[in-house]
Amino acid sequence: MSTSTPDTEDSGRIERWVTRTIHRPERLYRVLFYVAIFGFLFGTLFPFYWLVVIALTPRELLASVGLTPNGLHWQSFVEVFEVVPFHMYVANSIMLALGTTAIVLVVASLAGYVFGRLEFPGRRPLLLVVLAISYFPPAAFFVPLYRLFAGNVSLLGISSPNVLNTPAALLPPFTALFMPLSIFILTTFYAQIPDGLEDAARIEGTTRLGALVRVIIPLSAPGVATVAVLTFIYVYNEFFFSFLMTTGEFTDWSPLVYGIRNYQTQYTQLYNLMGAASLIGVLPVAILVAVAQEKIVSGLTAGALKE
């Protein structure tokens, strides 16, 4: 009578499992798919759940908070506006995001038209340079921009104006950071418009600028909407330049993230209010994404497939 050792039995099971997987890989793909979905949902949704737990837990019980709230202290969502004028910080972020989006759409549309529909020497290398600039770290621009906006740069004896704590110190870096990627996205869309449509508009007497506004932009609506939404979200969440170019007061155009930071003082850390403020601050972006999700998906997909 023959006997088998545990190592031999384990090796046999592994060999049979590998053989079945090779002949029927669908089961392995399905398992990996569910693992990836679980990892993605856990990584994206658990931080929001944790914010809800912290926001609903009374301040005196935060030291012993677990995976569920120790109570139901919904008043945190009211105290957020009583301790700090949080709505003003949200308003600052929205106005800065809207202003930057408007500038980016105008300039990127003109640049996208030039790169996408006109032929000139060095067009492709120049477009690659523009795209490469979008990957530069924001810190690389900070020192020269801060000296310029603080009034420390002189030309012919005339010093630059001190515009710190104003939109004039925030909109240029915001615009510069997202402009290259916007140009690249709009260039891809504008290049797909048939020349005949623009030629027909020009035969009717319109200029190139008129053809861009009346023909090219309307036909590239998904791309324009994608650029607008992505720019708004980026600027709404921006903190690097906002933190260094403002004082932290809402009267100095300090943004949303600075407002959340102000719940921490030298002697107190109001974590439950920070959690409630973070949840409230996410609402404008969540609403925007929910409304424009179809345009975003179609814009990103079309841009990826057509070039």
Widest pairwise Cα distance in the chain = 103
Determine the length of the chain: 307
DSSP 119: -
Mean pLDDT over 123-129 rounds to 86
Residue of 65 and 51 predicted with greater confidence: 51
pLDDT of 307 strictly over 50: no
pLDDT of 304 strictly over 60: no
pLDDT of 81 strictly over 60: yes
Question: Would you state the pLDDT for residue 43?
Answer: 87
- Residue given tokens 């508009």 in the structure block: 201
pLDDT tens digits, one per residue of 226-249: 899 889 988 998 888 888 888 888
Mean pLDDT over 152-166 rounds to 82
Distances (CA, A) of 264 to 89, 213, 272, 296: 15, 48, 11, 36
Question: Would you state the pLDDT for residue 100?
Answer: 94
SS (H, E, C) 18-53: HHHHHHCCHHHHHHHHHHHHHHHHHHHHHHHHHHHH
CA-to-CA distance for 259 and 17, rounded, in angstroms? 55
Residue 55 Cα to chain centre, angstroms: 24
The answer to which of 2-16, 152-166, 268-282 has the lowest mean pLDDT is 2-16
Mean pLDDT over 82-96 rounds to 92
Tokens (6 digits) for 277: 């403020």
